[in-house]
Amino acid sequence: MIKTIITGWLLVLVGAPAFTYAQDATLLVQQVRTKLDKVNDYEAAGVMKTDVSFMKVPAADVKVYFRKPGKLKIKNEKGISLVPKGSVSISLNNLLSGKYQVLDGGMDTIAGVPVRIVKLLPLDDNGEVVLSTLYIDPAKLLILRAKTTTRESGTNELEMSYGKYAAYALPDRVVFTFNAQEYKLPKGVTFDYDDGSSKQKPAGETKSQRGKIEIAYSSYTINKGLPDTVFE
Amino acid sequence: MWQLLQIELFKIFRKPRTYISFVAIAAMVIIVQIALKFDGRSYVEFILGSLKDSLEIPYDTILNGYFVCFVILNLLLIHIPLLIALVAGDSVAGEANMGTLRLLVTKPVSRTQLMLAKFMATVLYTALLLLWMAFLALLLSVLLFGVNDIIVARNDVLEVIKSNDVLWRYIAAFAYATVALTTVAALAFLLSVFAENSIGPIVSTISIVIVFTILSEMQIPLYDRTVKPWLFTSHMLAWKGFFYTQTDSTHTSIPGSIENLPAILRSFGILMGYIVLFVGSAIVAFKKKDILS
């Protein structure tokens, strides 16, 4: 009888913190979600920079449109921008939509800021997202980094820094890292000019490369309503 | 000299064959424009390859006038030398064939002046042909497809250039193409001195351009560093260099920049060298020529 009581107490002592952490993580995600839920829609203006090894793209003025629950559109109204598929997760609201199991991943720091690592396991087995890992600043209830593993596009990473729209959990700067496939066309098609400076790629270079898109937002228009046409 | 040039221009534009080139260019440009107007998306899909799997492609905006013009130039500037040879190869040999060359050299002008006038007339014809092409390929495409940023597909790089950074590149490219095609004209002009009818120099010029173009495009290391740098056909493609941009450390292209301007200037210098060599040789040969026809 005494053995059973002692074993029971031990189990409670060992298991309670893990349960409490999981509860904390769930609560933290809930608080972040509540903060994000203040935004029903937004139109943001910003400058987008594309960093992909085989692409040479100038910085472009873009507009980003978002509407609940999960509509997002990046538009370059004065030119051409090639946006990676999966960039819909640039909006944090999309990351936290749906149902998921919350797992606590412990603590870490990003640029000196303590963050809690939270893993989200979607309950929908057929969804596009397989796993999301969030790095949350618990003091400000802001997501500083998010890693999303998807079925189609591999693992995408999102890094955010905040400024005057932090109250809405809307970042001033977003860096979206994604998988980019190699680009190659036959020389007989392109008839390139060979200026004598072309360098051979090192042997063994992987075909799959990482690309980056950085958006520096200058302004947001929040909760003013958006027509369906902007998402077409 | 001006009077000589006028006479030579009159001779060129009096012949129906001169206008074949203008009609051929119009036909080719319009055929490409019609094809891209109705099925341009397939072409854009082809040049972007597997990128459509990882990127959202705005097909409608990519298919604009600047892009269409680049496609046309890419397709046609390889074939235009053939049309240039039609007139340049006929300039001296045509006169020999008609029996007017002997009469011509009895006039009180030096043979050098005569040859320079003939060559300048050929250069003007070349420039007019390119202006015609620019009008159709650039202006007509802009009217039909509108204006937007241009995407330039290279072997392993995709360039995006802002629309307000494109027009000066086309002006530079057409100016460079005039020099490139003048090189072909100079070659046909040189060969024309040695023939008694125009078929020989026209066919010879076309053959040389085809063989050199094949050599320029072959990826054989033996030729890459030995033969190719000295083939004029390798340097004729340098007009494309105006559409290759520099990038900063984050691969962001810098508006208004050219990736390798010294290489373009070197190619320009080599082509000018060829022009001087061909025309100079033509003048020397003509001065020594015993004209019997």
Residues belonging to chain A with any Cβ–Cβ distance to chain B shorter than 8 Å: 49-60, 78-85, 87, 153, 178-197, 201, 212, 214
**pLDDT tens over chain B, length 293 residues:** 788 888 888 888 888 888 888 999 999 999 999 999 998 888 888 888 778 777 888 888 899 999 999 999 988 777 888 889 988 888 888 888 888 878 887 888 888 998 999 999 999 999 999 999 999 999 999 999 999 999 998 888 889 999 999 999 999 999 999 999 999 999 999 999 898 888 889 999 999 999 998 888 887 887 877 888 889 999 999 999 999 999 888 788 899 999 999 999 999 999 999 999 999 999 999 888 777 76
Mutate to test the interface with B, among A49, A78, A187, A192 (most CBs of B within 10 A): A192
Q: What's the confidence (pLDDT) of residue B258?
A: 92
Decide if A80 and B61 are in contact by the 8 Å CB cutoff: yes
Residue B240 and residue B173 in contact, taking contact as beta carbons nearer than 8 Å:
yes
CA distance A7 to A2: 9
Residue B205 and residue B85 in contact, taking contact as beta carbons nearer than 8 Å:
yes
Mean pLDDT of chain A: 81
**Two tokens, residue B239:** 């007009």
Interface of B with A in 131-190 (CB under 8 A): 148-149, 151, 153-163, 165
Q: What's the confidence (pLDDT) of residue B108?
A: 83
Query: DSSP readout, B62-76?
Result: HSSHHHHHHHHHHHH
Residue reference for tokens 């050219």: B258
Q: Identify the CA nearest to B282 among candidates B91, B103, B121, B101.
A: B91
Mutate to test the interface with B, among A88, A177, A193, A213 (most CBs of B within 10 A): A193
Q: Identify the CA nearest to B127 among candidates B168, B87, B70, B167.
A: B87
Whether residue B51 lies within 8 A of chain A, CB to CB, comes out as yes
Q: Are strands A55-56 and A209-222 parallel, antiparallel or unpaired?
A: unpaired
Cα radius of gyration rounded to whole Å, chain A: 22
Contacts of B158 in chain A (CB under 8 A): 54-56, 82, 183
- For the whole model, what pTM was predicted? 0.85
Give me the residues of chain A with pLDDT under 70, please.
Answer: 1-23, 86-91, 94, 198-208
Q: What's the confidence (pLDDT) of residue A5?
A: 58
CA distance B213 to B232: 9
Interface of B with A in 85-104 (CB under 8 A): none
- Cα separations in angstroms, B67 against A25, B137, B153, B175: 52, 10, 10, 19
